[in-house]
Amino acid sequence: MTLFDAGDADFQQQSLLELRPISVWTQLFGVACWLASLVISPTGFHFPLAWAAALTGWMLLGTLLSQCARQLWQMTLGILLNITALATAFRLCSLATTDLVALLLPIAVCITLTMAPVFNNTLPFLCGSAMVWGILDHDVLTRTRIHGGPNWILLLIAAAMLSGLILQLLFRRLRLNGYRLRAELQELAYQDPLTGIDNRRSLLEKLQAQYLRAPGHFLMLDVDDFKQINDQFGHESGDLALQEVAAVLNGHPAAALCGRLGGEEFGLFIAESDPLRVAAAAKDIIRQVNACKVGSQSLGISIGAAWLDSRTGLAASLKRADAALYEAKRSGKNRMVLALRHSPQEVRAHRRAN
């Protein structure tokens, strides 16, 4: 991320959710400080009521825009409206005083440092800070009575701007690191780290939504003689075998969803109702897996398939696919067995009902 880059769209949206409440409360704090200054300032009681109401409304408009923002630029615009109104209000309130340095410089520093963390992008922060300093201190340099005059004021302005910039960059970096960490944790929660495809949790969640929209066949696949591969060639070769199988499944044109269920077992969903086409796809998968080799040994895979729709339900379909897979293993391995679309009990119940 560069100095003036706000990050990708996901990071910006996440920043909006994190910064919006902080931004709103910070702006309301500024409004409260402004209203309190009218009470405690000797000149506050003489400040025109219409001006006070207009400036307060201007500040609250910026706060409301930040609160209702759906995009980061809208929240940023609200912040800029609020702080320019706040700076203008304090500037007008200071017209009756002669000691501008003692009044306006601390206010400018406070606004700059307080608002720095709520800007996600550096450029708006620099623009907003420049506006605040321009509004509050445009004539402080010429009217100051400090020994050394403008040099001290320029040093203070530079120090405040630099401190605010460091704060803005630091907080943005912390948010970015948190965003990346959450993304990595989410990836670990839903992606199998060895094969790169969905893990069991992710696959089952996607299946739950998929079969309700488009029914089809669920295939449960198991690498044949996987323990023998590990014993003969080592666990690294076993891992390579799983990666090869995952690549075949993930790249197969018939696969709508695929994932690793655990160990050497995989799951595959084909949005196809014709058993012949499902059998052809399974046969093609077996052929591609047989073409993969670990050492001198070709890989084999057994497949159990079952119909999956809203009537059968996910749990029942998984159970039938598992039973069909067991039958494929028992009958010689490296083959596919298709379970009955409905169990015998369901067929008998359907006949009785009709």
**In the annotation, is 264 catalytic?**
yes
CA-angle at 311, arms to 310 and 314, nearest 5°: 60
HSE-up of residue 274 (Cα within 13 Å, Cβ side): 5
CA 306, CA 315: separation in Å to the nearest integer? 11
**In 138-221, alpha helices (H):** 140-143, 150-190, 200-213
What is the 8-class DSSP label of residue 111?
Answer: H
From the list 18, 187, 205, 264, the catalytic residue is: 264
Q: Which of 92, 96, 94, 69 is nearest to 80 (CA)?
A: 69
Which sign, positive or negative, has the C-alpha torsion 198, 261, 188, 293? negative
**What is the arrangement of strands in the sheet containing 257-262, beginning at the earlier edge strand?**
257-262, 265-270, 216-223, 301-308, 336-338
Summary count for the chain: helices (H), strands (E) = 13, 7
- Distant-in-sequence contacts of 323-329, Cβ < 8 A, 24+ apart: 324/220, 325/220, 325/221, 325/222, 328/302, 328/303, 328/304, 329/222, 329/224, 329/302
* Buried-exposed string 198-216: b where 16+ CB fall within 10 A, e elsewhere: bbbebbbebbeebbeeebb
Q: 3-class DSSP state for residue 56?
A: helix
Which positions are annotated as active-site residues? Answer: 264
